[in-house]
Amino acid sequence: TLGMLVPALLVLLFCLKGHAGLSPHFLQQPDDMVALLGDEARLPCALGEYWGLVQWTKDGLALGGERDLPGWSRYWISGNAASGQHDLYIRPVELEDQASYECQATQAGLRSRPAQLHVLVPPEAPQVLGGPSVSLVAGVPANLTCRSRGDARPTPELLWFRDGIRLDGTTFHQTLLKEGTTGSVESVLSLTPSSVDDGATFVCRARSQALPSGKDTAITLSLQYPPVVTLSAEPQSVLEGEKVTFLCQATAQPPVTGYRWAKGGSPVLGARGPMLEVVADASFLTEPVSCEVSNAVGSANRSTALDVQFGPILQTRPEPMSVDVGEDASFSCAWRGNPLPRVTWTRSGNAQVLGSGPTLRLPSVGPEDAGDYVCRAEPGLSGLGGGAAEARLTVNAPPIVTALRSAPAFLRGPARLQCLVFASPAPDAVVWSWDEGFLAAGSQGRFLVETFPASEGHGGQGPALISVLHISGTQESDFSRGFNCSARNRLGEGGAWVSLGRRASAPFSKQKNLVRIPGSSDGSSSRGPEEEETGSGEDRGPIVHTDHSDLVLDEEVALETKDPTNGYYKVRGVSVSLSLGEGPGGGLFLPPPSPLGPPGTPTFYDFNPHLGMVPPCRLYRAQAGYLTTPHPRAFTSYIKPTSIGSPDLTPRTPPFPYAAFPTPSHPRLQTHV
């Protein structure tokens, strides 16, 4: 009865106080809170003017009114009840304690606001796949994977560090086990390791609100990498011909398995180790030496070029040039050297420097500019190399014709007149003309013309043409008139007058002379008297019997009649081959066989494209009758024979400055007109 009386009295007292104006109320209510798993949690609750029953609920479930909360071994209520303090304690906090809690004054009908208890689970130390030592290959992209497992709350953040510095470039991945919970968490670090990463330590850290400092897991990189090569040369700068040693050093994991050497991309045979010795030359300046080192992972190479000092080497020769008068000319040549050689230009035989550099320019050239030009480079520091290269400048101009010295002739004897022609381009023809006619080649009556190249001229002037006019049986008029030797090319025309000198008369005796003229196949210019009388006739020209009552020479003079060149023009390797015939008016006709076709084939030249003006005249040609051609000047093609000796110039004949003609392949000129 007494036990029932006490609660009743308390209720009565509460009612009496309520009637007095004081009512129960909360002095302190619980708030949301966070507790670490295994720690202690305290939810405060204080009531004023209330001495009744106080209890706590968990997610709406009453925990009981006793202070020790029987049935909840980790829960209890603490505080001074008389003063209204009723705090709920939980220790140690477990995951199941995460709930909503309320403090209730049941007899007063009071309920506190709900307080949410959050239980935090700190993350465990993460795991790096492949650790604690991860093997990678340098230069090959790879991934490092860090994984955190367990029921960490909240989900942890995974971070990567190297040498205390946080790394970027990671990929985060989270796996859900079931709704509301998380399973493993992964972070992937992508990197392309290099040789400097060998032995490096990487740290993966898992951190969250439950463990702000986080937990770390470290791994070490064990790196495999191809060789890292350094190549040196000693000495690096050398003179041509000196020895040089190349040293190839490499670090590699796994170790080096082989060396290969190359120069300018081509393997150096026999070179296998880390050292190579060579003798330097100019090629090492532009063809680097390379060393390739290999191991099981791969290979790498390095190259270096030597600073080789060498003398000038000619790379491009100057080319001959042919230009017209008034045009510009230029020569170019290229020399290679280290240091760069100094190039100068001079004329052949003259030390005066005309210019420097790879190109020589000659503006508006004249005949005096023709000749050989020299491109010269001085030897280098080593004293090696250097030299000169020449090229010829040919200045195209109208022909220059010079009369050559001719021997005097006897009346009614043979005579020879000659002229020297310099011309570039080669003339269309060399024509001899006199009072009653002209002749470019072949024979006409008493006259025969031969034109052939001369030998090399003086001072590098080049070859020229010699034209010879042979006269058989001179007449009085031949000594009193002049003969004109003229030539024409596309740039103009030139000519010279030649006169025939007369020799004092020789004693004559009347006799019958036998004159043999060698055939065109004979390689000599004339035969001796013994050969004329006794030699075999199968390779000689026909014997012509002539009875000249008015021309009887002594034996010496008779021998001269056998040489139509009169013995004054000595020609090496060129024969004057004549066959006798009778020309119009009873004159002695001496036409040579045609070089342009088989025997008996008429040879002629169409003059119409050159000059188609003056009335035609008739020229006699052996075995072909008469040939109509323009008069007084005509041009014909000719075939150049092989080179002969230098001509005899008349006194005070100025040298011709033009470079002239290419050497022909034909043996001589003989064209019938």
Q: How far is CA 557 from the centre of its chain?
A: 74
The answer on pLDDT for 619 being more than 70 is no
The answer on pLDDT for 631 being more than 70 is no
- Among the listed residues 154, 135, 247, the one whose alpha carbon sits nearest the alpha carbon of residue 209: 154
Token code pair at residue 275: 């050292």
Q: What is the pLDDT of residue 139?
A: 83
pLDDT > 70 fraction of the chain, expressed in percent and rounded: 68
Q: What is the pLDDT of residue 622?
A: 32
Residue 3 three-state SS: helix
Neighbours of 391 (CB within 10 A): 18
Mean pLDDT across the stretch 306-320?
90
The answer on pLDDT for 311 being more than 90 is no
Task: Tell me the pLDDT of the chain averaged across its residues.
Answer: 74
Ranges 156-165, 167-176, 210-219, 420-429: which has the least confidence: 167-176
Token code pair at residue 512: 């019958």
**Separation between Cα atoms, residue 122 and residue 156, nearest integer Å:** 8
**Separation between Cα atoms, residue 183 and residue 173, nearest integer Å:** 11
The answer on pLDDT for 174 being more than 70 is no
pLDDT, tens only, 108-136: 889 999 999 999 988 888 999 988 999 88
**pLDDT level of residue 486 (50, 70, 90 thresholds):** very high
Residue pair 157/140 in contact by the 8 Å Cβ criterion: no
Alpha-helical segments (H) within 166-319 = 283-286
**pLDDT level of residue 339 (50, 70, 90 thresholds):** confident
Token code pair at residue 330: 């230029």
The answer on pLDDT for 243 being more than 90 is yes
The answer on pLDDT for 89 being more than 50 is yes
Token code pair at residue 582: 């009778």
Q: What is the pLDDT of residue 175?
A: 61
Amino acid found at 24: P
The answer on pLDDT for 529 being more than 50 is no
SS (H, E, C) 247-285: EEEEEEECCCCEEEEEECCEECCCCCCCEEEEECCCHHH
**pLDDT level of residue 224 (50, 70, 90 thresholds):** confident
Q: What is the pLDDT of residue 456?
A: 54
Neighbours of 338 (CB within 10 A): 21
Based on its alpha-carbon atoms, the radius of gyration of the chain, rounded to whole angstroms, reads 62
**pLDDT level of residue 505 (50, 70, 90 thresholds):** confident
SS (H, E, C) 22-43: CCCEEEECCCCEEEECCCCEEE
The answer on pLDDT for 245 being more than 90 is yes
Q: Which domains does the chain have, with CATH numbers?
A: 25-120 (2.60.40.10), 127-223 (2.60.40.10), 228-309 (2.60.40.10), 311-396 (2.60.40.10), 397-499 (2.60.40.10)
**pLDDT level of residue 5 (50, 70, 90 thresholds):** low
Query: Considering the entire predicted model, what is its pTM?
Result: 0.43
**pLDDT level of residue 52 (50, 70, 90 thresholds):** confident
Query: ∠ CA 660-666-672 to the nearest 5 degrees?
Result: 100
pLDDT, tens only, 359-392: 999 999 988 899 999 999 987 666 677 789 999 9
Token code pair at residue 382: 């080593």
Ranges 9-13, 417-421, 498-502: which has the least confidence: 9-13
* Sequence-ordered list of residues with C-beta below 8 angstroms from that of 341, at least 6 positions apart, any chain: 311, 312, 335, 377, 378, 380, 385, 386
Q: What is the pLDDT of residue 463?
A: 60
Mean pLDDT across the stretch 173-179?
56
Mean pLDDT across the stretch 343-355?
93
**pLDDT level of residue 509 (50, 70, 90 thresholds):** very low
The answer on pLDDT for 417 being more than 50 is yes
The answer on pLDDT for 641 being more than 50 is no
Q: What is the pLDDT of residue 168?
A: 78
The answer on pLDDT for 275 being more than 80 is yes
The answer on pLDDT for 649 being more than 80 is no
Q: What is the pLDDT of residue 56?
A: 93
**pLDDT level of residue 186 (50, 70, 90 thresholds):** confident
**pLDDT level of residue 240 (50, 70, 90 thresholds):** confident
The answer on pLDDT for 279 being more than 80 is yes
Q: What is the pLDDT of residue 616?
A: 32
The answer on pLDDT for 659 being more than 50 is no
Token code pair at residue 383: 């004293």
The answer on pLDDT for 53 being more than 60 is yes
Report, in this order, helix, strand and coil percent for the chain, each rounded to 5.
10, 45, 50
pLDDT > 90 fraction of the chain, expressed in percent and rounded: 38
Mean pLDDT across the stretch 204-218?
90
Residue 99 three-state SS: coil
**Separation between Cα atoms, residue 637 and residue 540, nearest integer Å:** 28
Q: What is the pLDDT of residue 231?
A: 95
pLDDT, tens only, 33-47: 999 988 999 999 999
The answer on pLDDT for 457 being more than 70 is no
The answer on pLDDT for 603 being more than 70 is no
Q: In DSSP terms, which residues pair with 465 in a beta bridge?
A: 421, 453
Residue pair 521/539 in contact by the 8 Å Cβ criterion: yes
Mean pLDDT across the stretch 52-59?
92
The answer on pLDDT for 257 being more than 90 is yes
Token code pair at residue 570: 């000595």
